[in-house]
Amino acid sequence: MLSITTIIFLIIFVLVIAFKIYMKVTTGWCRSHTCLVGKTAIVTGANTGIGYDTALDFAKRGARVILACRDEGRAEEARVRIVEETGNKNIVVQLINMSSFESVRGFAKKINETEERLDILVNNAGAGGIGDKRSTDGHVLLMQINYLSAFLLTNLLIGLLKKTKGSRVVNVSSIAAKYARNFEVADVDKFPGIYSVYNYSKLCNILFTIELAKRLDGIETTTYSLHPGAVKTEIFRHAKGTSKFILNFLKNLFFKTSEEGAQTTIYCSVAKDIEKYNGAHFEDCQEVPAYITTRVPGLSKKLWDLTKDIVELKPEELLI
Ligand SMILES: NC(=O)c1ccc[n+]([C@@H]2O[C@H](COP(=O)([O-])OP(=O)(O)OC[C@H]3O[C@@H](n4cnc5c(N)ncnc54)[C@H](OP(=O)(O)O)[C@@H]3O)[C@@H](O)[C@H]2O)c1
């Protein structure tokens, strides 16, 4: 006879295995064979996690890949690994710190001065759990890294993107946006709490995508947002105490690998004939219905109008 403890243990074991199988079976894979020879892609936060695997995939497809990273050593290490694994030598590092508008402007200036084209911009860099800190520009640090700087960067590169036929802007958001209840645009510059600030920043990524798509209407540049899934990366590196323990436990047991987590970003960047989904949100390489938090009438426009003032876009930089 089995003891009650053994039975409970076996039930938990079977449930864990069943859930793991479910996760593997439902993970979307980008099956597209799109070749990127002659194309240029920028991936922010490309030295690790989802960004690294996205850049690696683009390199395999033959693209010129610009690794937009903040730490020169970590970025160079990633560049060497990508070149070694793919044989593609057209991989370059360009430094950007998303916590500083000056750094974002410097990066965009270099790109606009040196690059002939920009086919794919992946706004991937992000952070979580960094508490109530302010950037040197005076904004909520997490909001600046995850959203404000991506908004500024995209706007500063929009001329080059518009010039490049069929270009795409891919914004890595999160299902956390679903839980960004009661968001009002003024919240973009306030600290609402350690979890809410992440949720709000990821909601802003989606609202930005929706509004950008509207502004790009009639232009051959399209944009998409996505949730990559729960992915085993360094995103929780700032977590402390019990939440760190729980996250590490869940991460090792259930989360996707970063290669799996990069699939929807890759899909939105290279899949053919998805232009009809301009402005839509994706999970597991499929378009999904907009989260309820993103459906507030007029919210995306209001957010855009406030954000352009916060990031201090100049009149001559307002190209869309
Ligand atoms: N992992 C998940 O479960 C999950 C779920 C939903 C959404 N996401 C989103 O996926 C994206 C990628 O995250 P990840 O999971 O791959 O995390 P990650 O492994 O921590 O990678 C984040 C990347 O962003 C970079 N970054 C952070 N702060 C930066 C700054 N100030 N300036 C420039 N780069 C900066 C990091 O650079 P350093 O290495 O130098 O710090 C790193 O390259 C994020 O937008 C995240 O919100 C992740």
The total number of structural domains in the chain stands at 1
d(CA 19, CA 16): 5
d(CA 180, CA 197): 9
Please, are residues 137 and 101 in contact by the beta-carbon 8 Å criterion? yes
Asked if residue 135 has its Cβ within 6 Å of ligand 1, the reply is no
Asked if residue 206 has its Cβ within 6 Å of ligand 1, the reply is no
Q: Is 178 exposed, middle or buried (0-12, 13-18, 19+ CB in 10 A)?
A: middle
Residue (of 65, 55, 115, 108) closest to 89 by Cα position: 65
Asked if residue 76 has its Cβ within 6 Å of ligand 1, the reply is no
| CATH assignment of the domain containing 241 | 3.40.50.720
Task: Check residue 250 and give its pLDDT.
Answer: 83
Instruction: Dig out the tokens for 223 from the structure.
Output: 């944009």
Residue (of 70, 32, 260, 301) closest to 168 by Cα position: 32
d(CA 154, CA 102): 14
Asked if residue 124 has its Cβ within 6 Å of ligand 1, the reply is yes
Q: Report the nearest-CA residue for atom 37 of ligand 1.
A: 45
Which residues are tagged catalytic? 198
Helix, strand or coil, per DSSP, at residue 25: helix
Task: Check residue 155 and give its pLDDT.
Answer: 98
Q: In what order do the strands lie in the sheet with 120-123?
A: 91-95, 64-69, 40-44, 120-123, 168-172, 222-227, 281-283, 286-288
Residue (of 278, 285, 177, 235) closest to 48 by Cα position: 235
Asked if residue 97 has its Cβ within 6 Å of ligand 1, the reply is yes
Please, are residues 60 and 32 in contact by the beta-carbon 8 Å criterion? no
Asked if residue 54 has its Cβ within 6 Å of ligand 1, the reply is no
- What is the chain's mean pLDDT, rounded? 95
Cα 127 to middle of ligand 1, angstroms: 5
d(CA 131, CA 314): 31
Compute the chain's Rg from CA coordinates. Answer: 20
Cα 157 to middle of ligand 1, angstroms: 21
Domain that residue 33 falls in: 4-317
Q: Report the nearest-CA residue for atom 30 of ligand 1.
A: 98
Per-residue tens of pLDDT for the chain, all 320 residues: 778 888 888 898 888 888 888 888 889 999 999 999 999 999 999 999 999 999 999 999 999 999 999 999 999 999 999 999 999 999 999 999 999 999 999 999 999 999 999 999 999 999 998 889 999 999 999 999 999 999 999 999 999 999 999 999 999 999 999 999 889 999 999 999 988 999 999 999 999 999 999 999 889 999 999 999 999 999 878 777 887 888 888 888 889 999 999 999 999 999 999 999 999 999 999 999 999 999 999 999 999 999 999 999 999 998 88
Residue (of 14, 108, 15) closest to 319 by Cα position: 108
Q: Report the nearest-CA residue for atom 8 of ligand 1.
A: 174
* Pocket perturbation via mutation, ligand 1, pick of 121, 235, 255 by most ligand atoms within 8 A of CB: 235
Q: What is the pLDDT of residues 53-92, one digit of tens each?
A: 999 999 999 999 999 999 999 999 999 999 999 999 999 9
Q: Locate the ligand 1 atom nearest the alpha carbon of residue 202 and give its number.
A: 47
Overall size of the chain counted in residues? 320
The CA-CA-CA angle for residues 198, 199, 203, to 5°, reads: 115
Please, are residues 293 and 182 in contact by the beta-carbon 8 Å criterion? no
The CA-CA-CA angle for residues 244, 246, 251, to 5°, reads: 90
Asked if residue 129 has its Cβ within 6 Å of ligand 1, the reply is no
Q: Locate the ligand 1 atom nearest the alpha carbon of residue 146 and give its number.
A: 45
Helices (H), the chain: 4-26, 49-60, 72-86, 101-114, 141-143, 149-163, 194-215, 241-254, 258-261, 263-270, 299-310
